[in-house]
Amino acid sequence: MTQIVVLPHVELCPDGAVLEGTPGESICNTLLANDIYIEHACEQSCACTTCHIIVREGFNSLNEAEEEEEDLLDKAWGLEPQSRLSCQALVGETPLVIEIPRYTINMAREGKHE
C-alpha cells in the first residue's frame, strides 16, 4: 500500500486525509473508496477535467500522462505543471501528497439535448 496525503479541501475533505492506495489503482478510485467524493462527470473515461488534481509530492512516480489527458488538462481550472486527471493517474510505490483544486470546469452536459 502507498500513502496518499490529501491536503484540506473546503468541501470535499475539510481536515485533509491520509489514505492507503493500492499500486496500479487510479487516484480517483482511491479517493472515492475513502469517501472523498471528487467530481468525475465523465465517469472516469478521460473526457472532462472535473477530477483534476495537483500532485504536490511524488509526481514523477506516477505513470506518464497520455496525449489525450494532456490535451484535456489544458482546459482545467488552475492548471499547474504537476496537474493530472485523477482518473488517469495511477498510484505507484512512492507516497503522494495531492491537492484537489477548489474549482472545476464541468464540461459534461446533462439533460435533454436537441
Which domains, ranges and CATH numbers included, belong to the chain?
A: 2-97 (3.10.20.30)
pLDDT exceeds cutoff 50 at 110: no
5-64 pLDDT tens trace: 999 999 999 999 999 999 999 999 999 999 999 999 899 999 999 999 999 999 999 999
pLDDT exceeds cutoff 50 at 113: no
Question: Can you read off the three cell numbers belonging to residue 85?
Answer: 486527471
Q: How far apart are the two ends of the chain, measured CA to CA in Å?
A: 47
The reported pTM is 0.88
pLDDT exceeds cutoff 60 at 111: no
Cβ contacts of 85 within 8 Å, gap of 6 or more? 28, 46, 49, 51, 52, 53, 65, 69, 72, 73, 76
Question: For the purposes of burial, counting CB atoms within 10 Å of the CB of 51, is it exposed (0-12), middle (13-18) or buried (19 or more)?
Answer: buried
DSSP at 13: B
Q: How much is the average pLDDT of 89-108? A: 85
* Bridge partners, residue 98, by sequence: 6, 55
CB 37 within 8 A of CB 12: yes
